Amino acid sequence: MFVIVNKHNDSMHREPSRKQWQTMYYNSEAAAKAGITRTIKYYEKAKAEVAKVVAEGKPDYHARMYNAYRLATDPVLGRTHEADKNNYRVMHADEYALIEPIITTTRNCPGTGKPITYTRSINEPSYLNPQSESYWSA
């Protein structure tokens, strides 16, 4: 099994055109490289669509893929590296498990108000974090 790793923060990359319920693992290195190519083409398509809408005289936010365009071009969001092919690398899943970043934070727990220290993987979804409001709202 292979994964695509974002060089910017060493997190696993999920293709923007892929469904959220689909896994981020690939069966071969070639399939993972194809995932990088699909990601770059997705952002190129978003840029082209916004350029077309602007050429028609409409504001750029009228484009259907405007949010993807902003991720690829807006430096304020801090994610312009997402559209750069050199930002990604393919690794074996076992190799990635050795370098996966771990984050430890201490915050007040929304459910109880008491301070809690929580250690999690950088790839863990926020709704699984007991320091988040969504964890306690269910």
Contacting residues for 113 by C-beta, under 8 A, at least 6 apart: none
Residue 17 has pLDDT above 70, yes or no: yes
Rounded to the nearest 10 degrees, the angle between the axes of helix 29-55 and helix 66-73 is 110
Mean pLDDT of 6-11: 87
Question: What is the average pLDDT score of the chain?
Answer: 87
Which pLDDT score is estimated for 19? 79
With cut-offs at 50, 70 and 90, classify the pLDDT of residue 138: low
Q: pLDDT tens for residues 20-39?
A: 777 889 999 999 999 999 99
From CA 121, how far away is CA 96, in angstroms rounded? 12
Contacting residues for 62 by C-beta, under 8 A, at least 6 apart: 53
Enumerate the β-bridge partners of residue 108.
115
Q: Which has the higher per-residue pLDDT, 56 or 121? A: 56
Q: pLDDT tens for residues 97-111?
A: 888 888 898 988 887
Residue 137 has pLDDT above 80, yes or no: no
Mean pLDDT of 116-129: 81
Q: pLDDT tens for residues 38-69?
A: 999 999 999 999 999 999 999 999 999 999 99
